[in-house]
Amino acid sequence: MLHLISRATVDDVFLTRIAPDDAIVLLDDAVFRAVKSSQAAQVLQQLPSSVSCYALTDQLACRGLLAEELIASLQIIDYPALVELTVAHTPIYTWS
């Protein structure tokens, strides 16, 4: 399953729906959830290691975020990689 999260303020209830081998893509302002010093980052770091977490390069750049500011488990991807994730993971849920 692929979870697309687009708002920084999405309730963490979505975490109860995360299963092993799911993937999470942080979009738009949700990329702030991956900043090391944020409380939301602590929640992301508690996910099982089989859950992959991604953010788009362009989304991070638009918000002035550098890779050094983000949790180590976050994988930074481009749009072609996002397309690959949508093909590999079904169903797709959008949290906004």
- What are the residue boundaries of the structural domains of the chain, listed by start? 2-95
Provide the token pair at 3.
């979870």
CB of 25 closer than 8 Å to CB of 60: no
The residue that leads in pLDDT, 35 or 14, is 35
Provide the token pair at 74.
């976050």
Provide the token pair at 5.
């999260």
Provide the token pair at 20.
């092993």
**Measured between alpha carbons, how far is 68 from 79 in angstroms, rounded to an integer?**
21
The whole-number pLDDT of residue 64 equals 97
- Please report the DSSP string for 49-95 in residue order: TTSEEEEEHHHHHHTT--GGGB-TTEEEE-HHHHHHHHHHS-SEEEE
The whole-number pLDDT of residue 10 equals 64
Among the CATH numbers 3.60.110.10, 3.90.245.10, 3.40.50.2300, 3.40.1260.10, which is that of 2-95? 3.40.1260.10
The whole-number pLDDT of residue 11 equals 67
- pTM of whole model > 0.85? yes
